[in-house]
Amino acid sequence: MEIQNILRRPRGRRSEQQQELVTMAQPLANPQNAKHVLETKGLGIYYGDFQAVTNVNLTIRRHKITAIIGPSGCGKSTLLRAFNRMNELSPGTRIEGEVLFEGDNLYEPAVDPVEVRYRIGMVFQKPNPFPKSIYENIAWGARIHGFKGRMDELVESCLQQAALWDEVKDKLKQSGLALSGGQQQRLCIARALAVQPQVILMDEPASALDPIATLKIEELMQELKKNYTIVIVTHNMQQAARASDYTAMMMLTDRQTRSGTVIEYDDTKVIFTNPKDKRTEDYVTGRFG
């Protein structure tokens, strides 16, 4: 119920108890101990008349990294964006079925989508820091979100969690845009952490980075999953194999409709060593894609 209340509250107002939760150094404890943080039931996603995703039934496990893989155009990013209602930013988008967050439907009319995006943060393919100082990149969102605690501590904590603190602690006033691509991406992760999300969605977070920066992001994900739940879309199968605990394989349901769905979802080890579906086998072994 707590989460439901938080999601539905008008922006800018917060009970004392909720304020206390938000100002905690660590993310929220599991409020309902629901088995799965996110769950989709019969999820279909439409862009106008075109159905991009069909009948996805997926459960995202708490404090685990779930990878979504599949060939281009099969709806991976669309599915990811449905987890925090980012799709609504494109006109004509609608869904059928349900997306449950801690057991509550994210798409109920009373739910505030902005609040959803605080709870379920997102990191994009291209690092997109604000054209502001490193410090402000983190402080800004938290301040707008009503953070009243010690900002310096929050900034340090987020940068440390994003494994960036040691590299930027002496130049917090410098522009975030002056950092390298890998550092910018970690800054974006730190920025997402500043509003205390429970889930972090990552849409190909390392595809624009070199191998070392990529490995840093992957190592960071392993640290972050202790406190957060991560869902990552990636084209890099080695990355999915290395970094994730569970893997969902998406594919077009048929060639005419060009709508994607999850064809296999299992432990990452199983997907990459002994997948059950022939299409997954063909994809992960590079026989088509």
Partner 1 sequence: MTNIARFEEPMLRKTFEHEIQQVKDDVLLLGSMVEQAILNSVDSLKKRDIKAAQKILDDDRLINMKRFEIENKLMVLIATQQPMAHDLRLLASCMEIISELERMGDYAKGIANINVRMGDAPLLKPLIDVPRMAQIGVDMLHQALTAFVNEDVETAKTIPVHDDEVDALYNQVYRELMTFVIQDPKTIERANWLLWVAHNLERVADRVTNICERTIFIATGEMAEIKSTDDEFWEKQKNNR
Closest distance between partner 1 and the C-beta of residue 211, in Å? Answer: 13
**129-148 positions binding partner 1, by CB under 8 A:** none
Nearer to partner 1, 131 or 211 (CB): 211
Nearer to partner 1, 34 or 215 (CB): 215
d(CA 233, CA 203): 5
285 binds partner 1 (CB under 8 A): yes
Instruction: Provide the 3-class DSSP secondary structure of residue 201.
Output: strand
Applying CB under 8 A, among 49, 92, 131, 288 the residue interacting with partner 1 is: 288
Nearer to partner 1, 97 or 260 (CB): 260
Closest distance between partner 1 and the C-beta of residue 56, in Å? Answer: 19
Exposed (0-12), middle (13-18) or buried (19+): which is 105, by Cβ within 10 Å?
Answer: middle
273 binds partner 1 (CB under 8 A): yes
Binding-site size for partner 1 (CB under 8 A) equals 21
Closest distance between partner 1 and the C-beta of residue 264, in Å? Answer: 11
d(CA 258, CA 54): 10
164 binds partner 1 (CB under 8 A): no
Q: Which residues contact 104 (CB under 8 A, 6 or more apart)?
A: 3, 4, 7, 111
Exposed (0-12), middle (13-18) or buried (19+): which is 268, by Cβ within 10 Å?
Answer: buried
Closest distance between partner 1 and the C-beta of residue 126, in Å? Answer: 23
282 binds partner 1 (CB under 8 A): yes
Residue window 67-86: x/- pattern of binding to partner 1, with contact defined by CB under 8 A: ----xxx-------------
Interface stretch with partner 1, choices 37-45, 183-191, 195-203, 233-241 (CB under 8 A): 233-241
3-state percent helix, strand, coil for the chain, nearest multiple of 5: 40, 25, 40
Applying CB under 8 A, among 103, 113, 149, 289 the residue interacting with partner 1 is: 289
Applying CB under 8 A, among 231, 252, 262, 263 the residue interacting with partner 1 is: 252
255 binds partner 1 (CB under 8 A): yes
The continuous run of DSSP H or E covering 100 comes out as strand 93-101
Interface stretch with partner 1, choices 86-94, 128-136, 208-216, 267-275 (CB under 8 A): 267-275
The string of DSSP letters for 246-281 reads: EEEEEEES-TTT--EEEEEEEEHHHHHHS-SSHHHH
Cα dihedral 223, 226, 227, 230 sign = positive
Nearer to partner 1, 18 or 236 (CB): 236
Order the strands of the 246-252 sheet from edge to edge.
104-105, 93-101, 36-47, 50-61, 260-267, 246-252, 65-69, 229-233, 199-203, 120-123
**Residues lying near partner 1 in the complex (CB under 8 A):** 71-73, 237-238, 241, 252, 255, 272-275, 280-282, 284-289
